[in-house]
Structure 1
């Protein structure tokens, strides 16, 4: 989404960036009139995206405040952060659109509950039946024996009107996009710097398998799971699966061979198992379909070093 540039009442630093105190920014939304202002401007943008500007009088009428002085006072509290004054009137800034999206998503104001619902799937660990439930902003999928198979956070609006199977599919897509951004070094939550790594390397316990972990250095966002999480959209993995008649997007996440517990193994420390030119490889993920095996070698940051088909 691209919006025209706007003025800001924040303090500018020597490089032209502006800063607004968080207390002031969130305090600006502490009154229902101000929330209604951003809602009305958001409605205008949704209905007429090419003409999203409202005049003072039209905006005041939409918010239904008779006292123009009182309305102007509340409008001024939003200017520069959530609302921009432009030629012809007022429009939302990008921060204003983000606030409206959070309101509509119900992230901070709503509660939804769906399920539990049995899924047409068996646990890859014990073959028990699998069910899913959404509550308190979290989707949880587990088998009847208690093995957790998929846990993911989604805002309440994601669950509105969706069944558990549909919600699992949405969460799977969100996971894939999130991991792609994290591997690129960007946090999808706060856009700070993120780091990824493989876990369980060099552990002497046979019970510990290599895993994937991503963390944001700024907001602390964390994604933890099997190594296969970082290969869900890897072109060679997706192409290999389709070549053998397996569409990854049509199967539940925990059913995919690439995320199975025994799919990832740590490579020998002397590098004897590594292909030429892949001296940084630490873990190999092997997927076997139709008599062929795809090998994907990753370094300790969870990035692909090489792929090969046997």
Structure 2
């Protein structure tokens, strides 16, 4: 096989879960689609939505995309940005990607609920699913992998635009191949995408090679505020509205700060509390390879993955932090709480 050929289309890996036939039939038979990603979209959400949008547009379908809140600043560098709409219309087929349940569609959830055909394509482990058609594989490293499998199953070409979006989705959700979800399938798919036009250097540089000054200032304030809890097993920081104002930062500048906190050694759980506009509306990011973050987050009405999850709460920071620390004390193995 020529390693740089896009014509030798099939990977050697055997996937645990192939796309369901009813989903493939829907994509082939319908002609009007709306694709939605989750609130505060990350690279996997944006890349998955735009990759599938490209495939459908290449098939001659009518397709639009939308997100409940603005994607990060770099999303306009991804091919297909012109497909994203601020006020999308209802479509017969509405597909939610990377959402861990339709609840994370926020203000766009009514469009999904009212669709003639509602679909979820996701790699989160939530069982709170209400769609007509589900394609969920929690073992997949990213939702972009599921989109790649769909493209393969339909025999569609892996164009340069699609390859770029899928590489972006998979690389960012695996921490550019540093996280535990980096599998053989992840590496094989990204190699295929690179052979078909994705530029790994450019994508990495855009995502982790450069940062706007407000992000760096905000990160500095978060790092300065780090505190240890539960005998040093939990490391946490909080950044509130005053920090965002001082840094000249907005929501898009907070991405990945939790992953910098995660660099600290000899810690089991990493926590970042964020209040962007109101000091009584907190978003919480959790990271751990010891405790199931998704389960902890779901107990607070959130969700995510075993090693990375989040939730929100209303009220004073101290009260929310105390509740979370109590839950983490009970969840940590061999920790004597109470």
Structure with more strand by fraction: 1
Structure with more helix by fraction: 2
Shared fold per TM-score greater than 0.5: no
Higher normalized contact order (CA 8 Å, seq sep 6+, divided by chain length): 2
TM-score under structure 1 normalisation?
Answer: 0.26
Which entry has the higher C-alpha Rg, 1 or 2? 1
TM-score under structure 2 normalisation?
Answer: 0.25
